[in-house]
Amino acid sequence: MQNLVRLQTEPPPATVAASRKTTLNGQQAEEVMRHFRTNVAKPVEINNEIHVNIGN
């Protein structure tokens, strides 16, 4: 158990930490929001609904 806790809480090796990008500039943030607003925020219409009646 102690080994699992250590593996989950110790910091990653320096090479892994250095390769992770931790900043987000304004252009990247704008692109993320644009993608969200055009693609994700418009759910697909559901045609085949399942109705479940439980109880009375």
The reported pLDDT for the residue numbered 22 is 65
Q: What is the pLDDT of residue 36?
A: 81
Task: Supply the pTM of this predicted model.
Answer: 0.34
Report the C-alpha gap between 1 and 5 in whole angstroms.
Answer: 6
Question: What type of residue sits at position 9?
Answer: T
Find how far residue 22's CA is from the centre of its chain. 15
> Per-residue pLDDT tens for 16-47?
666 666 677 888 889 888 888 887 656 677 78
pLDDT at 55: 80
